[in-house]
Structure 1
């Protein structure tokens, strides 16, 4: 399987700290980087040993690259991904795919029409922890699923407290940043999300941007005529002393995942049934972004599928947008 040649759209923290290493570890090479700032692009390229830097997106798309990784601010994803697909490049795009479900749908359709791979860089669905939970649920180990709960309350690092919390910044706030990730885990586990109720607030004294930094949601799922399933999420940028977790409750048991939702999780799965509680061994030693890059590469070569396809990213976005609308309107929002 030949290595992929990549171009980076966005001189971002996530590219610098996670994705460049994952691309290289997966056997790929990074040709260069685009940023709206030529100085930032040049500095980023020098820091990370990249041969090219540009502030002209069309220049990057003319390079000899197979794929692009998009990690610009959320409001730019749709335009940049669309241009990349039209230039014949496979696209790995940071979540959310877009800020509008119709635009995300158009991206997915364009990729399908052109035979190119579009994937959302949701790192959690590829985690061995979440893969094992899906296996346990699909095998009926906990019976009929009744409900699920995610605790994804963390403390946002100071270096990331910029555009994510700007009230006037498109795509900012905790819901599009974290609730979107929760949905990427819950959707393949529970079925089709059909309704969302949410409340969001601003809590942190250091949050001067005015955007909500904590939210709780309840999501209703339906799955092939079975009883509806309720999922609850707590997402926050303000909690510094808690472990993330996932719980799935069924008629015959409960599966709990401790340290479940972060990028460097080592995790622990505990299965409780009428026989008692036992730990399920899972190897969590491999980097989640490397898992995602390997899956993306396999998809490009026709031998696999991304850990989160474009359509997976679209459905996660729909949940997050519904939560955002619900938090603003005070009403339950139904997902079409």
Structure 2
């Protein structure tokens, strides 16, 4: 039985605690939050856990692992201390706010011989796993481009912009789906609600092999959309997480260019079909994967290297954002 300490019991922490405690081979033994009301709520839900206002008390305790669900600016410091304390670590996205800090966490985890996993939740979504299968089997043909929308009215952030808040989702999914490495990123956006905090960002990333990712992130939008589209030269697929049931659809549509000069393009449309998916909560799968990796020593799907790649893309996009959309090379 793996004992887990949860650091951060805000909007996401209760979901993590619920899913860890539902596993057969793990349980929450300690919870930390700086808010007295949230800490009292955690203690009332999990009567056997130790509740602390200081995360260092969790690190000094007997838990085998910690999950860090605190504001993004604190991820690096807490994760580094946790690894140094000998804990296995699951840290929410982004794992750090600079590539240098993310790389330091990867090195510390390897030195300590501890699991370092990043909460790239969508990599554990059944729809994304099926998308990867559709690409791998050639159902979509050669992937040409991917585009995503992650927009809503709220929740307005004061400690991170829309790029760092929402960008890790699309970038991690693209990295999971594609073989190529990101080579270049550019972004434009606007700060309409708070000075110097972009509440709308349009980001593009170029991958080796020519695949393009384009994403729209905002918390200043009339409707909630959480969708990603993959366009191949044989077919296209749409993963719409806002749909209650039919979340993944494949469109048997493509364009065939003429072989002879002067001939018109041929448009193929054989309709759309829904892809069946297992009814499992992605966060439950993510938590189980973390525990499995601790027990078996396996490398997590969204390990520190995966988190580092995502931060490198976001760092390049942030630099482009500062430079009014100038393309910036992605390190690595």
Please indicate, yes or no, whether the TM-score normalized by the shorter chain is above 0.5: yes
Given candidates 208, 211, 215, the residue that maps to 1:233 is: 215
How far does residue 288 in structure 1 lie from its aligned partner after superposition? 1.2
1:243 offset after TM fit, Å?
A: 3.5
Aligned with 1:314 (options 308, 312, 319):
308
Aligned to 1:180: 168
Matched, 1:60 2:58: yes
Q: What's 1:196 paired with?
A: 185
- For 1:284 and 1:209, the matched residues in 2 are separated by 43
| Residue 215 of structure 1, aligned match among 201, 206, 226 | 201
Supply the distance in 2 between the matched residues of 1:259 and 1:78 (Cα, whole angstroms).
29
Q: For 1:185, what is the secondary structure of its paired residue?
A: helix
**Distance verdict in 2 for CA 1:237–1:266, change over 3 Å:** farther
Structure label with greater radius of gyration: 2
- Cα deviation for residue 324 of structure 1 reads 1.4
Task: Give, in whole Å, the separation in 2 of the partners of 1:180 and 1:11.
Answer: 21
Which segments of 5 or more consecutive residues in structure 1 lack a partner in the other structure? none
Alignment of 1:285-324 (within 5 A): 285-302=279-296, 304-324=298-318
Instruction: Indicate the residue corresponding to 2:259 in structure 1.
Output: none
Report what 2:131 is aligned to: 133
The normalised TM-score by structure 2 is 0.87
Task: Give the aligned length.
Answer: 313
- Cα deviation 1:107-159 (Å, max 9, x = unaligned): 012112222111111110110101111111111122221111112222324xx
Kindly indicate whether the alpha-carbon contact (under 8 Å) linking 1:266 and 1:285 is maintained by their aligned counterparts in 2.
no
* 1:248 has 2:230 as partner: yes
Unaligned runs of 5+ in 2: 254-267
Higher deviation after alignment, 281-290 or 60-69: 281-290
- Secondary structure of 1:197's aligned partner: strand
- TM-score, normalised to structure 1, is 0.86
> Cα 1:219–1:302, aligned 2, differ >3 Å: closer, same or farther?
same
Residues 1-336 of structure 1: matches in 2 within 5 Å?
A: 3-16=1-14, 18-27=15-24, 28-36=26-34, 39-40=36-37, 42-50=39-47, 51-157=49-155, 161=156, 164=157, 166=158, 169=159, 172-190=160-178, 191-203=180-192, 207-208=193-194, 211-222=197-208, 227-259=209-241, 267-273=247-253, 274=268, 276-302=270-296, 304-330=298-324, 331-336=326-331
